[in-house]
Structure 1
Amino acid sequence: MTNKALRILLAHEQYEQLIYIEKLLNRLEYYRISPVRTFEEVVLLTSNPDDLFDLLVVEKTLAVPEDVDLVEFCRTQPYIRHTFFYESPINVFGLVVGSPESSDSGTLTDPHYSGTLDVLMNIIDPPVDTD
């Protein structure tokens, strides 16, 4: 069963990409999604201790104009539990799971394929065994 309380932050400069990924997550029954288009918005939304995000899905070059190492920012950001990075159009993706002290990394395929997000969400929000 889907944890409907999970908070997800989507970050990509292109509005169409945000809507597309949000719709894929909606099909997986995740609805607490905040789409943003700039790194400044990511910083603003993740700087409040009352606003913990369970997952940040972010295009990896979003912070390049600010000369910020986005991977390092996310590893040290206490209000982001998990981060899914992707680069477009190269199709290289990485996942940082857990706290900065105990992060695991992995690679997934294209986020535009709903199966990728399904795999990602099964890692972040594993199904509960009802047996």
Structure 2
Amino acid sequence: MSNKSLRILIADEQHFNRLRIERWFNQLGYYRVAPVQNLDELLTLVEYGCEPFDLLVINAALAGGKLDLMGFCLDNRQLYRVLIYDGQRAQLPPTPACEQQKTQVSHAVLPDLAALQRLMTIIDPGMPFVGTVISVR
């Protein structure tokens, strides 16, 4: 069963992208999702929030060269985990999701449901993995 108390922040300038990602999280059982459309909104929520966010999913283009996105994410105590997508645009090297890393960079233009599900199995170990089951005899 998924941990319904996890706080997720989505940051993307495109309304359609924010909506799509939020719907995928809803399909996975996560409903505490806050979408933001610009850097100022993101900084306000992160800097003045009472509770840390369990996950930030952000389009690398949102920083627009105004912010060292990797440095901000790695050093911020209000963000437990971060997925930066479309990282190729920001010239960030891709990094795979693993338990030890706080920040994952994807070159995908938009994360898909399967990628979010894999990430959430790391963040929320109680989440059931919905996928193909292969039995070996």
Say whether the fold is shared (TM-score over 0.5). Answer: yes
Secondary structure (helix, strand or coil) at the match of 2:55 reads strand
Structure with greater Cα Rg: 2
> For the Cα contact (< 8 Å) 1:86–1:93, is it kept in 2?
no
Q: After the TM superposition, which residues 1-131 of structure 1 pair with which residues of structure 2 at under 5 Å, given as runs?
A: 1-48=1-48, 50-65=50-65, 67-87=66-86, 94=95, 103=101, 106=104, 110=108, 111-127=110-126
Per-residue Cα deviation, 1:57-116 (whole angstroms, up to 9, x for no partner): 000121115x211111111111111000001787x8546878xxx745556574442111
Structure 1 unaligned residues grouped into runs of 5+: none
After superposition, the Cα gap between the structure-2 partners of 1:36 and 1:123, relative to the gap in structure 1 and judged at 3 Å, is same
> For the Cα contact (< 8 Å) 1:56–1:83, is it kept in 2?
yes
More strand by share: 1
What number of residue pairs does the alignment pair up? 124
Q: What is the alpha-carbon root mean square deviation over aligned residues?
A: 2.8
TM normalised by structure 1 equals 0.80
After superposition, the Cα gap between the structure-2 partners of 1:36 and 1:96, relative to the gap in structure 1 and judged at 3 Å, is farther
Q: What amino acid sits opposite 2:123 in the alignment?
A: I
Matches of 1:96 and 1:42, distance apart in 2: 23
Identity of aligned residues (%): 32
> For the Cα contact (< 8 Å) 1:45–1:51, is it kept in 2?
no
TM normalised by structure 2 equals 0.77
